[in-house]
Amino acid sequence: MTDSTRSPVRARALFGTCILVIGVIAVFLLASHSVSAGGPKTIQGYVYDESGQKFGGSKIAQATVVIKTPGGTELQTLTDDTDANGQYRVSLDPFLWSTGDTIEVFATYNSVQSPTNTTTCTVSPLQTVDVHYELAIPQFGSIIGSVLASVFVGSVAVLALGYRRH
């Protein structure tokens, strides 16, 4: 082969190699994207009151769903009111979540926020995260707790003094 016939052959081989490399890179990028963001995803669950009963009927709570990266960066926040059965349902943006992200869900009813339920995003397109209000027990740091503690201590003192006089 002469130099004039070798040059087009070399150019075609180089072009073919470039196309192959670009194709392989594209396959890896598409594969990694389909694993990290699995498309549409729905988060649903029920909101339960302090007695363990589902919210429902006229008792409506607002559920807030926050999606965060494992590093804590907030990706999206969605809200939904509970329906007549006490269920909420939100649909995530298909490109703003990945398997392993954190899901935080809490509810608000009459300006009272429930404890946050935290879990990890799975591959499943439907994930259930329930929210439970806890029975409020007065703390000694609160005004109600301080009043209750004072009444209890005062009652014991009065009973002790009254018992001593007899």
**Residue spans per domain, the chain:** 1-36, 39-132
**CATH classification (class only), 39-132:** mainly beta
* Residue 8 reports pLDDT greater than 70: no
Please state the separation of Cα 16 from the chain's center in Å: 47
Give the Cα-Cα-Cα angle 110, 111, 115 (nearest 5 degrees).
105
Which tokens in the block code for residue 59? 């008792």
pLDDT by residue (tens digit) across 39-63? Answer: 899 999 999 999 999 998 889 999 9
Q: Average model confidence (pLDDT) for the chain?
A: 80
pLDDT digits (tens, 9 = 90+) for 64-87: 999 999 999 999 999 999 999 999
CA dihedral for 142, 144, 150, 152, sign (positive or negative): negative
For residues 56 and 123, what is the distance between their CA atoms, to the nearest angstrom? 30
